[in-house]
Amino acid sequence: MKSRLKLPLLAARESELEKCVYCPKLCRAVCPVGNVEASETLTPWGKMSLAYFAARGDFDLDRAHADTAWACTGCLACRERCEHKNEVAQVLGAARAEFFAAGLAPAGAVAVAASWQERSHKLAASVAVLCRDTGTVLAPVAQASGAAGGPSPARTALLVGCSYARHALAEARAIVALGRRFGTGANGKAGAPRPLALVPLCCGLPLLQAGARGAFMNAAAALSETLRRFDRVIVADPGCALVMRRVYPEAGVPLPPVELLVDVLAARMGTLPANRLAGRRLRYADPCKLGRGLGRYDEPRAILARLAGAPPAEMPRAREAAECSGAGGLLPATRPEASAAIAAERVAEHRELGGGTLVTACGGSLRRLRGLGTEVADLYALVASALD
Ligand code: SF4
Ligand code: SF4
């Protein structure tokens, strides 16, 4: 049956939109943005309803209405609560693409897309520094013409993630050290690790979140071409891993097998140092995309339990019910106050429970939660420090 919706990307999501429009808002209490801004319009129901009415042509779309599609961190908490497992974040992503194409994206999203080349150069420079510091090789980048880059001695590539590589270099070094030690196997010569190639490209997630679909597809194609020569790619940041595992296949963009660094470590659990961090008070905060997105709840907890000799402490709501850090969905760029308020809530909860070290496994959350008056650590940096 032909959709009544006039915006094609939203017409393809009509059934998800209608589920929300006619729903008694069963997920309203879990949306971090709706909660922190105390706005009915910003509940998942409100945002989906506005997208639906906009696509139906019920009102002249303006910037203020379009803005609501960016009031989402992509935390997936509403999907978790929903009886239909409705993909609200994905549908709002389609709304972002429609509104971006109509010139109605918020300034923060436009700025991300407009500065893409500059961001890409900075990422490549950071990854080059990482290569120099860690004795790894750089993955040869495919040319814009589609021609493959030069040969590489490595069969395994590592994608560290922009948040780590550009904003948390110490953690990025730790990730590379773990990739070299556990991700490549030995080459038979006295156990020396095989070479590991660092990928100096972004998966394109910020462009997708901005609504710049064409630019995202270009970024995805460039990464796909560059990774073609490798047998596998290990990915540290769960945001990159989720987009490469879910969005790329849907868009028909081929990749070699995408492995999560947390899985690589969990598979080598017996070789991780036991009790080396005993006595440290660690509290694990599930990153949304690693937990609800990729289903990894047990692996990071098992790794921390191995390092510390005891399971990590928990946040008030954990695992499937975990709450967002405010870092996702481009919220820091489009609604910085809301993003900061969500992060402050997480830190306050952590402190009320007795504090200690708040542990994440996501570059964006690490950046978002740091500097708010509590110690924040990254899972991979903790593993690397325990190995030193
Ligand atoms: S996501 Fe599910 S529970 Fe939430 S408003 Fe939509 S249909 Fe209702
Ligand atoms: S994905 Fe998270 S932030 Fe987005 S609408 Fe759902 S609950 Fe709100």
Which band of pLDDT confidence, cut at 50, 70 and 90, is reported for residue 188?
Answer: very low
CA separation, residue 98 to residues 1, 92, 112, 355, 364 (Å): 22, 10, 17, 43, 26
Give dist(CA 204, CA 221) in Å, integer.
10
Distance CA(278)–CA(282), nearest Å, equals 10
333 sits in which H/E element: helix 331-334
Which ligand minimizes its atom distance to the CA of 331?
2
3-state secondary structure (DSSP) of residue 275: coil
In the chain the domains, ranked by start, together with CATH numbers, are 8-105 (1.10.1060), 113-265 (no CATH), 269-387 (3.40.50)
Q: Measured between alpha carbons, how far is 345 from 11 in angstroms, rounded to an integer?
A: 36
pLDDT value at 248 more than 80: yes
Ligand 2 atom 6, closest CA: 78
Q: Can you read off the two tokens belonging to residue 193?
A: 């690790």
Name the closest-CA residue to atom 7, ligand 2.
Answer: 31
Q: Whose CA is nearest to atom 4 of ligand 2?
A: 72
For residue 18, which ligand has an atom nearest its CA? 1
- By C-alpha distance, which of 126, 196, 120, 195 is closest to 158? 196
| 215, pLDDT greater than 70 | yes
Percent of the chain exceeding pLDDT 90 equals 87
Question: What is the residue with the minimal CA distance to atom 2 of ligand 2?
Answer: 75
The identity of residue 353, as a single letter, is L
Task: Give the span between the Cα atoms of 87 and 11, in whole angstroms.
Answer: 14
Q: How far is CA 142 from CA 40, 218, 223, 341, in A?
A: 47, 12, 8, 41
Q: Let me know: does 218 contact 236? Beta carbons within 8 Å.
A: no
Pocket (CB within 6 angstroms of ligand 2):
30-33, 44, 47, 72-78, 88-89
- What's the pLDDT tens digit per position in 85-113? 999 999 999 999 999 999 999 999 999 99
Structural contact between residues 253 and 279, judged by C-beta atoms closer than 8 angstroms: no
pTM: 0.94
Residues with CB under 6 A from ligand 1: 19-20, 23, 25-27, 44-45, 48, 78, 81-82, 84, 86, 88
Using CA positions, which residue lies closest to atom 3 of ligand 2?
72
From the CA of 23, how far away is ligand 1's center (Å)?
A: 6
Distance between CA 101 and CA 212 in Å, rounded? 8
Q: And the tokens for 338?
A: 């809301």
142-156, 162-176, 231-245, 260-274: least confidently modelled range: 142-156
* 3-state secondary structure (DSSP) of residue 7: coil
Dist. CA 107 → ligand 2 center (Å): 21
What is the number of the ligand closest to the CA of 30?
A: 2
Write out pLDDT tens, residues 123-182. 999 999 999 998 888 888 876 555 556 667 889 999 999 999 999 999 999 999 999 999
Residue 235's nearest CA partner among 274, 277, 293 is 293
Nearest CA to ligand 1 atom 4: 27
How many residues are there in the chain? 388
